[in-house]
Chains A and B, each alone.
Chain A
Amino acid sequence: MGEAAAYADYPSVRTRAMRRGARSVLVYLRTMAVFVVVWALVAHLKSNPVLLPSPLAVMQAAVDLARDLELFYHAWVSFARMLVSLAIASAIAIPLGLAMGLSRTFDRIVDPTIELLRPISGIAWIPLALFIFGVGNALPVFIMTYAGFFPILLGTVAGVRDVDRRLIDAARTMGVPQRTIVTRVVVPAALPSLMVALRLGVATSWTAVVAAELIGAPSGLGYAVEWYRELLMTPQVMAFIAMIGVLGYVCDRLARLLSDVFAPWASR
Chain B
Amino acid sequence: MHETGVHERALAAIPGHDAAQAPAHERAKLRLQDVGKRFETAGRAASVAVQDFTLDVAQGEFLVIVGPSGCGKTTVLNMLAGLERPTAGRVTLDGVEIAGPGPARGVMFQDYALFPWQTVRGNIGFGLRHGPAGSALSAKERAARVQSCIDLVGLNGSEDKYPHELSGGMRQRAALARLVANEPEVLLMDEPLAALDAQTRLILQDELLRIWGQDRPAASRRTVVFITHAIDEAVFLADRVAVMTTHPGRLKALIDIPLARPRNDATRASPEFQALTQHIWSLIRDEAYRATVT
Contacts and interface: CB of A to CB of B under 8 A. Distances in A.
A172 B83 contact: yes
Contacts of B106: 173-174
B131 A176 contact: yes
Given A265-B164, A268-B164, A174 B130 contact: yes
Nearest to B78: A169
A119 B111 CA distance: 40
Contacts of A266: 116
A169 B83 contact: yes
A143 to B, nearest CB: 35
Contact of B109 (A166, A174, A176, A265): A166
Interface residues of B, number: 26
A174 B103 contact: yes
B117 interface: yes
Given A169-B83, A169-B109, A175 B115 contact: no
A176 B107 CA distance: 13
Contacts, number: 70
A171 B127 CA distance: 7
Instruction: Specify the main secondary structure of chain A where it touches its partner.
Output: helix
Interface in B103-159: 103, 105-107, 109, 111, 113, 115-117, 126-127, 130-133
A181 to B, nearest CB: 8
A143 B126 CA distance: 42
B102 interface: yes
Nearest to A188: B117
A180 B111 CA distance: 23
Interface string A161-188: 0001011011111111100100011001
A191 interface: yes
Interface string B181-223: 0100000000000000000000000000000000000000000
Nearest to B164: A265
Contacts of A171: 126, 130-131
B83 A185 contact: no
A173 B190 CA distance: 13
A167 B131 contact: no
A263 interface: yes
B162 interface: yes
B115 A188 contact: yes
A114 B107 CA distance: 40
Nearest to B82: A173
B169 interface: no
26 contacts: A166-B111, A169-B81, A169-B113, A170-B109, A170-B115, A171-B130, A172-B100, A173-B81, A173-B82, A173-B106, A173-B107, A174-B126, A174-B130, A174-B133, A175-B102, A175-B103, A175-B182, A176-B126, A176-B130, A177-B130, A184-B126, A184-B130, A189-B116, A191-B117, A263-B117, A265-B163
Given A180-B130, A265-B117, 10 more contacts: A166-B113, A171-B126, A173-B101, A173-B106, A174-B126, A174-B131, A175-B103, A175-B182, A176-B127, A177-B130
| 7 pairs of A and B residues whose beta carbons are closest in the complex | A175-B103, A174-B127, A166-B113, A170-B113, A174-B131, A172-B101, A173-B107
